[in-house]
């Protein structure tokens, strides 16, 4: 995706925010958000596929993050199969010390 396409999408979202009538603005925002929820599922899947493809080609995690335009942590999460928030991650079991 080119920077120009990203700019146009951002400008379209700005236009929604500039709708003068508050009720009409919120209705438009609701429709955009509902559409984006569905779109995010597809986009995350496509991004994950690209991360795994680049990993299989031997790229470093940092290079993968740069190529897909995300953080190193996100790439690590994708490869670990984790897609939730930090609060949803399972807690590590405490290891027993020598006194226990």
Confidence grade of residue 11 (pLDDT, cut at 50, 70, 90)? very high
Helical spans, DSSP H, in the chain: 3-17, 22-56, 61-68, 72-80
What pLDDT shows up at residue 64? Answer: 98
Q: For residues 48 and 1, what is the distance between their CA atoms, to the nearest angstrom?
A: 16
What are the pLDDT digits (tens) for 25-78? 999 999 999 999 999 999 999 999 999 999 999 999 999 999 999 999 999 999
46: nearest Cα among 30, 69, 29 = 69
What pLDDT shows up at residue 68? Answer: 96
Confidence grade of residue 2 (pLDDT, cut at 50, 70, 90)? confident
């Amino acid at each position: 995706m080119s920077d120009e396409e990203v700019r146009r999408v951002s400008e379209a979202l700005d236009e929604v925010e500039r709708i003068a009538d508050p009720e009409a603005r919120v209705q438009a925002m609701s429709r955009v958000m509902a559409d984006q929820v569905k779109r995010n599922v597809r986009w995350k899947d496509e991004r994950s596929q690209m991360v795994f493809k680049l990993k299989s080609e031997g790229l470093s995690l940092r290079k993968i993050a740069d190529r897909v335009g995300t953080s190193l942590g996100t790439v690590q999460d994708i490869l670990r199969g984790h897609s939730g928030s930090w609060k949803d991650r399972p807690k590590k079991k405490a290891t027993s010390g020598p006194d226990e």
